[in-house]
A and B are shown apart, each in its own frame.
Chain A
Amino acid sequence: MNKRIFCSLILALSFSAFPFQPARAHGEPIIVVEPFVVPLGGQITVTGSEMEPGEVFLITLEGLAGSISLGEVTASGEGEEGGFVAQFTLALDITPGSYTLAATTEDGDSATTDLEITAASENASSAPAEMQEPTGEQHVLDRSKSSIEIIGAVLLIALSVAGGVLLIRSRD
C-alpha cells in the first residue's frame, strides 16, 4: 500500500516537471518598459523579446479609462529569436494613473508590464528617457540614532532579557 502511494506520488511529481503550457519555439513574448514611472509628455522605451521575427505587435495602454493605442511595432531578428526596441511619447491628454502596457498580436499573443503615468513635470521632455544603471549597492542614508533612542533600545533589550530569563527559569 505504501509503495503504491509512493509510486503514485513519484509519477505525479514527474508530470509536474513538465511545463503547463504548450511549448513555443521562441517562448512567451516579453516586454520591458523604461522608465516604469513616467510623467505625461515623457518618453518611454519599450523593449520586446522572445518574439518571432516579422510578428506585428500593437502597443496599447490599458487603464481604467479604457485602451489607448500607442502604435504598431514589428519584431525583427534572425532565426527564431526576434524582438524590438521602440520609443513612444506619451500624449498630454492621458489621465495620470496606473496602466498596463500591452503588446498584442493579431493571433492573440501578448506581453504586459506595469506603467505608472504621473502628472506632467517640468523635467519631462521629448528626449529619450535617461536609463538608470541597475546596481545591487545599498543606499547610503543617515542612520545615526539619538542618544535617547539608543539608551531606550538598550534598556528595552536589558528588560526583555531579564524578563525572558525569569520566565524561562520559572517552575511549575
Chain B
Amino acid sequence: MAAGTRPNQRTQLGGWLYERLGLQGISYSVPKHANSLPYVLGGITFVGFLILFVTGIYLSQFYHPHPTDAHNSIIYIITGVPLGDLVRSVHFWTAQIVTATLLLHMLRVLYTGSYKRPREINWVVGLGLLAVTLGAVFTGSVLKFDQEGLEALQHNKEAAELVSGLGAWFSAEFSHSVPILTRVFNGHVTILPLIFGLLIATHIFLIKQHGISPKVSPDAKTRSTAGDGDSNFGLHLRRMVGYGLLLFSLALALSLIFPAPLGQPGVAGAEVTKPLWMFLWLFPAEEVWGVRALAIVPAMLSLLLASLPLVDRSPYLSPARRKALLIIAGIILAAFVSSAIFAALQPVTAHLD
C-alpha cells in the first residue's frame, strides 16, 4: 500500500471515513503508466458522464417532452430558467468533449493492443459504451425538435424501417398513446442511462479483474496485471478527477463564449441541415447508398471492431509488431476523417424519400 493512502496519515475525519466507507478497497496497486494521460482518457470520459447526469437532471425539470411544447420549452430554458442557458450549454459542450475523449480512449486501446486476451470481452463492452454514448448524443439532438433534430429523427425512422422489426421502436405506430418524441426523451433519460450504468459497471469490474494492460515495449506481451504495479489506484482516481475538472472548466468556458445552438422549429419532410460532427462522416455514404447506409455502415463498422480480438490474436502489444493491422485501421480512420471533412464542405442535399 502506498504511503499517501494510509489511514494514520489522514485527518481524524478522513480516517473515520476511510474506515467506514472501506476506502482501502480502492487503494490497490496499479502500474505507473496507468496514471499517464492516454491511460486516464476512459476515466475522464466517466467524469464527463457524471457532469452530463447532473446537468441533465436540472434540464429535465424544465423540458417538456411533447411535440407541441418541446421546442418552446427549450426557448424557455434559454431565456427564462435561472442558469438555464449556461447549464444547457455545459450539457451540450460536455457531450461533445466526452464523445471526443471516448473516441481517443478507443484509439489508445486499439494502438496499445489493450483489447487482447484476457480483455476481449471488455473491448466489446467498451464498444457498447460507445454505441450508448452516440445514442445519447443522437437522442439529445432530436429533443431540441428544431430543424436539425427533426431531420435526424426522420433519417433514423427511415433507417429503422430498413431493419424491419428491429427498428419498430422508432416508428410512429409503435405506440398510439405516446408520441415518438416523448419516447425518444424516455430513451435519453432512462433506457440509455440504465444501459450505460450496467455497461460501465461491467467495464470497471473487468478492468479491476484484469488490471490495466501492460506498458507497451518492443517485447511486451498481453497478460493480466491485476495486483501488479508500483503506483496506487487512489492516485489514478485523483488524476481522473483532476482531468475531469479541466474538462468541466473547458465546457464552462465554451458555454460562456459559444452557447449551445438552437435552430428554428422543425418542418417535417425537409432537409436543410447537416448532422453533428460525430455523424457527419456518414453523410457521403448516405449520398452514395441512400438512407440504408445509416443502418448498414455503422453495423459493418461495429462488426469489424468487435471482431478485432478474433482477428489479431498474437500476444504482442508493440505497434511495431502489429503494423499491418494498424495501417489498415489508420486507412479506415483517414477515410472517416476525410469523409467528414468532405461532408462539412459540401452543400446540403436531400436524402429522404
* A residues lining the B interface (CB < 8 Å): 2, 5-6, 9, 12-13, 16-17, 19-21, 27-28, 30, 32-34, 36-37, 47, 49-50, 62-64, 98-102, 110, 112-114, 116, 118, 131-139, 141-143, 145, 149-150, 153-154, 156-157, 160-161, 163-172
Bound Cα distance from A164 to B146, whole angstroms: 36
Among B75, B161, B304, point to the contact of A141 (Cβ < 8 A): B75
**B306 nearest in chain A by CB position:** A9
Q: Is B267 a contact of A133 with CB atoms below 8 Å?
A: yes
**A28 nearest in chain B by CB position:** B161
CB distance from B65 to the nearest CB of A (A): 11
Task: Tell whether A160 pairs with B245 under 8 Å between CB atoms, given A20-B163, A102-B173.
Answer: yes
Instruction: State which of B77-85, B91-99, B133-141, B326-334 sits at the interface with chain A.
Output: B77-85
Q: Is A143 a contact of B85 with CB atoms below 8 Å?
A: yes
Bound Cα distance from A170 to B5, whole angstroms: 12
Residues on the B chain within 8 Å of A27, using CB: 353
Most buried by A among B83, B269, B274: B269
Residues on the A chain within 8 Å of B242, using CB: 163-170
Bound Cα distance from A150 to B4, whole angstroms: 38
Bound Cα distance from A26 to B73, whole angstroms: 40
Judge whether B176 is part of the interface by a CB distance below 8 angstroms. Answer: yes
Q: Count of B residues near A, CB < 8 Å? A: 72
Q: Is A21 a contact of B307 with CB atoms below 8 Å?
A: no
Residues on the A chain within 8 Å of B278, using CB: none
User: Can you pick out 13 interface pairs between chain A and chain B where the beta carbons lie within 8 Å of each other?
Assistant: A6-B310, A63-B176, A113-B172, A114-B179, A116-B67, A135-B263, A138-B261, A139-B264, A141-B78, A141-B79, A160-B245, A160-B246, A161-B249
Q: Is A13 a contact of B3 with CB atoms below 8 Å?
A: no
Q: Is the interface of A mostly helix, strand, loop or mixed?
A: mixed
Q: Is B179 a contact of A32 with CB atoms below 8 Å?
A: no
Among B2, B86, B162, B267, point to the contact of A20 (Cβ < 8 A): B162
Bound Cα distance from A58 to B350, whole angstroms: 28
B157-184 at interface with A (beta carbon < 8 Å): 161-164, 171-173, 176-182
Task: Tell whether A132 pairs with B265 under 8 Å between CB atoms, given A37-B68, A98-B177.
Answer: yes
* Contact string against A for B residues 332-353, beta-carbon threshold 8 Å, 1 for contact and 0 otherwise: 0000000000000000100001
B70-117 at interface with A (beta carbon < 8 Å): 75, 78-79, 83, 85-86
